[in-house]
Amino acid sequence: MDKQFDVVIVGTGVAGLYGALKYPEDVSVLLLSKKELTLSNSSFAQGGVAAVLDKNHDNYKLHIADTLIAGKYKNNLSAVEKLVTEGPDDVLKLKELGVDFDRDKDGNLLATLEGGHCRNRIVHHKDSTGKEIVDKLLLDVEAKKNITIWDNALVYSIDKVEHGFYLGVMRNGEEYSIGTSYCVLATGGIGRVYKYTTNSAIATGDGITFAYMLGANIKHLSRVQFHPTAFDSKSDRERFLISEAVRGEGAILLNHDGRRFMFDYDERGELAPRDVVSHAIMEEQKKTGSSNFYLDITAKDPEFVKNRFPMIYSRCLEKGIDITKDWIPIYPCQHYLMGGINVDLDARTSVDRLYACGECSHTGVHGANRLASNSLLEALVFSRRAAIDITDRLHKGGKKPLGEEPDNKNIAGEKLPTGIRTRIREIMQDTYFVIPNLDNVDNAYEEVKDILNKLNNTNYEITPDFVEARSLATVAKIILEEIKEGINL
């Protein structure tokens, strides 16, 4: 063993960073980031954080009701209640930590409206809220003496022992064996299992795969959310999001003829939940025979649009679209995962001493569909609860010897063939998009299962490419297995 810590947190999005700050100074913490520290889905989050802060015009019951409606009443009500009632204090804590939420001229936090919400309750930093939160949390984490941060650190193995875990980590060409009493997986989503996604390059389902390999319960992985308004760039696999907040500020959806169509499908129009809007777009495509769709915010004052959405304005301008004058080409795209590693209200998995929080976890708060801007709130609430629970266990139970370290893994082997990840993405895009192609599920499942068997039973060299290919194949297999068994349909 090269190093030992009380807690290892895998992932440096909001869940990993905020959770790390909640450990007292007598608890040693290692934060591992697969690539650069700021590369996470959290950093990509645009809209904001949903929280009931203005109790004169909003209340917990309304936020709970909106979450349940969006989630098709398949939510874990206890988890939703924790999310909604505890979340506002965590949001205010972010403000104390220096997060620069937008304010009105009197200094009050500005709250906007997004799809599925009945009140203005989303606090934000222009249209780059996630980046602002991550950047400020990083400053606080880096100042903590009990927290060690490793960037460009790829976890390639996690082994369970009697009183903890040993992690195999590659960093800067070196291999390390890291011992820890508790392991927290905060590894984000699975977007890279799809051909087109709004997710960052790290979102390959690694944490879910490690938990699965350790025997943890994985639940509702087929509950994948497709955001209706990703920028329709035909050449880019990673597509930037046109935030829900753009529709919240009055943008309308148009079909290829320039006709507003959402009220044909739902009385809430553009402010219906994401899955409803995505399905409406696909139905409208069937009706019109065109896949060209647009978001139009040109009716709003240009200066307001530029100030409210500077990042979106800039990114679209790079693509030749001036959103103050032009319609924005959009199309549904893989965006978020509602399922994941099943956890309780303290983020405990079914494997002792293994925790999960953020997008890789399944708390049940989202049900079958995530309500806009509940994800950052979930990351805050349940990473904090995990830290409190782990700290309590450490203080009550003491720090015990981990147990015998596994033999060193031989990472040498055959070179991984090219094209495996590309093929998995094609299968998932063709089989399980907004409206699933159920006729293709059996063949897709058998092909993915064969790919995973070959990865697991061939002596391939352990490289970042191999780790991610194994993760994508594992995630795809679980999703297709659930669909075959009718778990989520």
Q: Helix 375-397 and helix 77-96: axis angle, to 10°?
A: 90
**Would residue 274 show up in a list of annotated catalytic residues for this protein?**
yes
Q: Strands of 218-219's sheet, edge to edge?
A: 218-219, 340-342, 361-362
Strands (E), 291-365: 293-296, 328-337, 340-342, 354-356, 361-362
The answer to whether 250 touches 299, Cβ cutoff 8 Å, is yes
- Which position has the token pair 């829900």? 244
List CB contacts of 405: < 8 A, sequence separation 6 or more: 1, 161, 166, 177, 179
The answer to whether 231 touches 242, Cβ cutoff 8 Å, is yes
Give the active site residue among 121, 274, 308, 425: 274
Burial of 468 from C-beta contacts in 10 A (0-12 / 13-18 / 19+): buried
Burial of 5 from C-beta contacts in 10 A (0-12 / 13-18 / 19+): buried
Counting every residue, how long is the chain? 489
Smallest CA-to-CA distance from 182 within 348, 341, 32, 345 is with 348
Other CB atoms within 10 Å distance of the CB of residue 273: 25
Burial of 344 from C-beta contacts in 10 A (0-12 / 13-18 / 19+): middle
Question: Which positions are catalytic?
Answer: 274
